[in-house]
Structure 1
């Protein structure tokens, strides 16, 4: 299959978790904005620079040199306040960055829940900041706000002239540059990539079950939907936690608004292919189909509704956030036997080794018709953008150098692990990383998840993550796999065992759309996503009857132009890959 030159491999407009975008008043020229020179962007980039020490005539440092600016400068910045991170405006990481770079930050902060709406209002009003960081924009948004509205400036020349770490990531993965390039030939933002590749995120939908509870009720880990129901019934009706009270157990819980913690995606995949992160789409043999209204999904919802009606699913799972799920999992007494979440540290404290050890992820379940599969990402892709520069920015060279810091080892590890000598240190001699081959260069002194460090000024987690080097493989793995220092290796093992059950579907490769189609798909996607989620909750809770109200649900999808939405994605795929 050919790849149209104008199309990047970055992410389909339907993808849910794309990140922030950027653009310029320079339109489709591919030129970067000049820095206080009065020159055009292209003239500024191409001009031979002269340096006084490490600084050019504008007081900006050579690539990779610090401080970034000779004199203090200020960048206005939009950022979402993550629930598991202390006040971002006072965070030590920003303080350290300012001290190193001579860049101060004027914050526009919105709680993560609602931050997207706040940002949309700012972009519509024209009162937006210099840079935007965080998971807010899809590929469709990059085209809309970059190519279409010229709010986001092209970064091509800025990256070429100023970035050291990002260009190194491109050398390691040449396809990433193509994935970041929109149909007009411009790059409007830097996407996010966790530790250089797939990792345990290759499979989103995991369910974790307490093996000690299984022993207490005399059962084995379920592999079919019937067995899963039987286990949950035993958890509910017997004294599964062994405290003498058979009525205090929660069989199955989860959360919303976080990574892969809804209770239904894993279960629906025992009936048919279902991946919300793909925008309710499936690709097989070059054909894209919709997944939100299949007969298999209907049967799956009836099954889940039955679990809910019988008290086997925690009602709070449909409304609570990750911190509330974690509060259940970290109670002094174990009260929940099963939880849906992307990794077990979202539910229990991994430093409580004995409790953490009790939970293992289940294999995908086989449904009554024999279907068994789990959506699996098989190739590393980058999508959307986690960092953008707008046409308001007076210091784009300084801004791109700031971003480049987070494409290298030092600041990736600082933001995701912590400080050397406190959270990590040099590896012990002769140790290897999680692949069992690569010599280790670092070791964890402590490993705690986002919930466990929410009140501490150490890491900032997903506040901003850009294209990272594969830093996780550099940390040593020794001893007990349940030890927190081996957590990443444990998660990789938990993911690897799911590989034989990868769904019989092709991973939807990323593609960009033209402005008109991008705007249309973005609007349709939001409406469809809201409708499907709310309808599924109504079916699960019994507010609507799956059999009686299914045709009405399908009619609602038609009203939202679901078929046209699928066709638009097929059109874009065909133009890119056929």
Structure 2
């Protein structure tokens, strides 16, 4: 197999495309009848996309309004091979290394390392030569936002993917998932909204000890999240960590020295883990927080059991409008930083075209449609008069049958028959003008305004590693990250005593932490150089 890949990587893009054509010898040129706009082709064509699926998007995509309408507009029938996010990484690796490739990877969360590796091998085609002529909407964004081009360009100088890209001015999308507390329960307890970690603990203890839902049982859950990581991400800034945003969960900058640091080996992180372990010991965390799934968490919220949660918005995912989003909490040492902030370039590898695709130009035009206003409106809002209305001032609003759906349906649940953006990871350009998700609701906007003064002055985008660096980071580097994550859970859970911290750090060092940081330094220097 390796020999085959070597031969393929030596071929031109056109040769690889020709080799990948399927069917009964029909050439792409036979269907290429339009030069711009919609429809994309005159005669119908069919393609298959490997597609990551959120648990919020149940059912075949082909049955959804957005994809029915797009099939009508484009004359292209897309078959979505749906892969649940929980098993996506493993299935994606198998698909990339397999002999029968899909025509494209859609919402498949391809990493920069995978884009570079499989682009160099010829599995994914470089898009550079297509974008100016076949992707005018996306090409305009590359020209407008140099950081977008910088983040997508691999070390070999090529772009292999369309991303998920948020409007840099759309701050609520960059925050994404606030820390929410139950406002009604605060009122019943006669407590103010927490602004320090001590006040947060006092509230959570009161939730634990009070029958706030009035059912005569002690079943209130002080705080829950999907695993412990989202909660720790929210609390990092209270310990001075995460000062370059959430795209880099392991590395940020030591503000005293100006040097890069591995967060999960820093003494401040030990303090954070001790704080979280104390929450666990006091019974303030959901009992199954380490294994809690998104659907189960949302069900707990719908049942009225949660005092606090880290989710996109309880109003849309749980149907609960009594929650208020916290800003930046002040920590035990006086640190107050809102570190849960994403860069505009969220998912680098949200969409990529493979060598097996017989219609690369048409596929790129299909994808580019969603980076324009017309396509983005279809993707996020559906069809005018069916799922949304346009107000006299030009703004878009979901119909009341969706925004206030009967039967206790949340907004996300009411949208299931129509669109598929719920759960994220989709390719596209997200702007407030046509995105009416949980991030644009008043309670989310209010939370962001509280956080705004404490957002880091510099938020890193993703770093791209060379082939040699990627190989090391995907093997020894991945082992370091995996061990740090496993130890993190054990420290919080108490199965690994915090007295073993120095032993834990020593093991990280023995695993190659110095090399990890050296590679990060080199990638960081390249990243900084491209922004000068």
Interval containing the TM-score (normalised by the shorter chain): 0.7 to 0.9
Contact 1:364 1:372 in 2 (8 A): yes
The answer as to 2:110 corresponding to 1:110 is no
The alpha-carbon deviation at position 371 of structure 1 amounts to 1.9
**Aligned partners of 1:79 and 1:133 also within 8 Å:** yes
Q: CA deviation at 1:117?
A: 0.3
Determine if the alignment matches structure 1 residue 403 to structure 2 residue 403: no
In the other structure, the counterpart of 2:433 is 473
8 Å Cα contact 1:252-1:314 kept in structure 2: yes
- Correspondent of 1:176 among 125, 148, 157: 148
- CA deviation vs aligned residue, 1:272-326 (integer Å, no higher than 9, x gap): 3046641311036763211012111112211211111111111122211111111
Within the candidate set 252, 274, 287, 2:259 is matched to 287
Q: Does 1:267 align with 2:220?
A: no
User: In the TM superposition, what is the alpha-carbon distance from 1:577 to its structure 2 partner?
Assistant: 2.4
2:426 is aligned with 1:456: no
* Superposition deviation, residue 406 in structure 1: 1.5
CA distance in structure 1 between the aligned counterparts of 2:239 and 2:40, rounded to whole angstroms: 54
Where does residue 485 of structure 2 map in the other structure? 533
The question of whether the paired residues in 2 share the 8 Å contact of 1:223 and 1:365 is answered with: yes
Question: How big is the shift at 1:214?
Answer: 1.3
Q: Distance in 1 between matches of 2:363 and 2:164?
A: 17
Determine the structure 1 residue equivalent to 2:25.
Answer: none
State the shift of 1:523 in Å.
3.0
8 Å contact from structure 1 (residues 61, 69) kept in 2: yes
CA contact (8 A) 2:491 2:497 kept: yes
- The secondary structure found in structure 2 opposite 1:375 is coil
Query: Would the alpha carbon gap of residues 525 and 205 (structure 1) be closer, same or farther in structure 2, given more than 3 Å must change?
Result: farther
| Displacement after TM superposition at 1:33 (Å) | 6.7
Matched, 1:385 2:349: yes
Correspondence list, 1:142-181, <5 A: 142-147=115-120, 149-181=121-153
The structural deviation recorded for 1:550 is 1.4
| Structure 2 partner of 1:318 | 290
* Per-residue deviation, 1:556: 3.3
Could you tell me how far 1:512 is from its partner in structure 2? 2.2
Q: 1:396 offset after TM fit, Å?
A: 0.7
The answer to whether the aligner puts 1:502 opposite 2:463 as a matched pair is no
Superposition RMSD in Å: 3.2
Query: Which shows bigger deviation, 566-575 or 487-496?
Result: 487-496
Report how far residue 264 of structure 1 moved: 2.3
Partners of 1:170 and 1:381 in 2: CA distance: 12
Is the counterpart of residue 364 in structure 1 residue 328 in structure 2? yes
- Does the 8 A contact of 1:77 with 1:132 survive in 2? yes
Structure 1 residue 32: deviation in Å? 6.2
Of the candidates 506, 517, 528, which is equivalent to residue 566 of structure 1?
A: 517
Q: Which residue of 2 aligns with 1:77?
A: 49
Contact 2:113 2:464 in 1 (8 A): yes
Query: What is the CA–CA distance in structure 2 between the aligned matches of 1:180 and 1:32, rounded to whole Å?
Result: 22
- Kindly indicate whether the alpha-carbon contact (under 8 Å) linking 2:343 and 2:460 is maintained by their aligned counterparts in 1: no
CA distance in 1: counterparts of 2:131 and 2:15, whole angstroms: 12
CA shift for structure 1 position 35: 7.1
Q: Name which of structure 1's ranges 381-390 and 287-296 shifts more when overlaid on structure 2.
A: 381-390
Q: Which residue of 2 aligns with 1:491?
A: 444
- Mapped partners of 1:498, 1:279: distance in 2: 19
**3-state SS of paired residue (2:162):** coil
Contact 2:19-2:356 at 8 Å conserved across structures: no
SS at match of 1:313: coil
When the two structures are aligned, how many residues end up with a matched partner? 505
Gaps of 5+ in 2: 1-6, 21-27
Rounded to whole Å, the distance in 1 between the matches of 2:204 and 2:331 is: 16
Q: Under a length normalisation based on structure 1, what TM-score does the superposition of the two structures give?
A: 0.79
SS in 1 for 2:46: strand
1:451: how far off? Answer: 7.1
Cα deviation 1:89-119 (Å, max 9, x = unaligned) = 5332333333332323344332221121011
CA-CA distance at 1:426 after TM superposition: 1.3
Q: Structure 1 residues 73, 57: closer, same or farther in 2, change over 3 A?
A: closer
Distance in 2, Cα, partners of 1:363 & 1:494: 6
1:553 aligned residue? 504
Relative distance call for 1:284 and 1:318 in structure 2 (3 A) is: same
Matches within 5 A, 1:226-265: 226-241=198-213, 243=214, 245=216, 247-256=218-227, 262-265=230-233
Give the structure 1 partner of residue 92 of structure 2. Answer: 119
User: Any idea what SS the aligned residue of 2:475 has?
Assistant: helix
Q: Which has the higher helix share?
A: 2
Measured against aligned partners, the alpha-carbon deviations of 1:453-497 in whole angstroms (never above 9, x if no partner) come to: 278311101576323162x23689xxxxxxx99944542332122
State the secondary structure of the residue aligned to 1:250: coil
- Does structure 1 conserve the Cα–Cα contact (< 8 Å) formed by 2:196 and 2:329? yes
2:4 equivalent in structure 1: none
Q: Distance in 2 between matches of 1:25 and 1:228?
A: 58
Separation of aligned partners in 1, 2:31 and 2:18: 10
Question: Do the aligned partners of 2:172 and 2:439 also contact (CA within 8 Å) in 1?
Answer: no
Task: After TM superposition, give the deviation of residue 78 of structure 1 in Å.
Answer: 0.8
Which runs of no fewer than 5 residues in structure 1 stay unpaired? 1-23, 39-55, 350-354, 430-439, 477-483
